[in-house]
Amino acid sequence: MSTFKNYLSLIKFSHTIFALPFALIGFFLGLFDLHFGEIPFMGRPTPIEEEGSVLDVFSRDHFYLLLLVLGCMVTARTAAMAFNRYLDRHYDAKNPRTAVREIPKGIIKPGNALAFTIINCLLFVAITWFINPLCFFLSPVALAVILGYSYTKRFTPLCHLILGIGLSLAPIGAYLAVTAHFSLLPIFFSLAVICWVSGFDIIYALQDVEFDRSNELYSIPASLGKKNALRISELLHVLSSLFVIVAGWHGGFGLWYWLGVLVFCGMLIYQHSVVKPNDLSRVNLAFMTANGIASVVFAIFVITDLFI
């Protein structure tokens, strides 16, 4: 049991809360598409056969598909985090903030962490085989993005955007699992995720400005300073808010969706109110609590709107 807990700690399993709600949004959007037909741009959805909600088409097969999507989410994210910890183990050992992590402390051996990564990559690809051919053939692309992120801090301050792209695959991937075709609406949600994740990752990176500079690692805070980095984070979160608004307008959503938008935007505003360039004491509050509430509550309201 202690070994299991160590691996959960290694991959920060609790951080799954960021991308998983958006994967659920993508999944239920896919069900909506199956029932109503693809939503036209700048138009409200028109039922193909009968009035109802996504609940009407949620069958035992779709429950099975939902489990497969969740399996993809967990294995892909686990592989990405384990590989990041493996690749950054030498930097983590030198950084006082991260020296307590499992690999630097010797709790988990580097080779075991790499093997754990490979196993989860294989599981991810195997699960996509049972979803549909499109997801299976795109699975190496998804792995290349989420694993490749771990290298980016070594050569570009845009690493935050690469992380955002990695997590933005959640709503698109879940939608493709259901429909096997691309659509504009889940892309709007993915764009929102890119800007949202990039923005809060910049806030999180404020803690390591001096360490990154001294070790020739790249980040926007290390390159531009804390104050300018926070301005860029604010801009990204404004763009994220605009994308969820555009998604709501394009999708013809109702009251529940817009209540979710208020919560989502409110949490973005809140995290910027508690983090200052000269006061980083509440970075973790902004990073985990505010963003966790933003994603979970927003997804609940979006899915509720679809069901109603």
Mean predicted lDDT score pLDDT of the chain: 90
Compute the C-alpha angle 69/243/196, nearest 5°: 65
CA distance 7 to 112: 10
Band the pLDDT of 154: cuts 50, 70, 90.
very high
pLDDT at 1: 62
pLDDT at 55: 58
**Per-residue pLDDT at 45 exceeds 50:** no
Residues 218-277 pLDDT 10s: 999 999 999 999 999 999 999 999 999 999 999 999 999 999 999 999 999 999 999 998
Question: Higher pLDDT residue, 61 or 273?
Answer: 273
Residues 178-226 pLDDT 10s: 999 999 999 999 999 999 999 999 999 999 999 999 999 999 999 999 9
CA distance 74 to 306: 24
Spell out the residues 6+ positions from residue 259 whose beta carbon is closer than 8 angstroms to its own.
301
Mean local confidence (pLDDT), 24-51 = 65
Domains identified in the chain and CATH numbers: 2-35+55-307 (1.10.357.140)
Residue 122 has, within 13 A of its CA and on its CB side, a CA count of 6
Select, from the ranges 3-12, 23-32, 115-124, the one with the highest average predicted confidence (pLDDT).
115-124
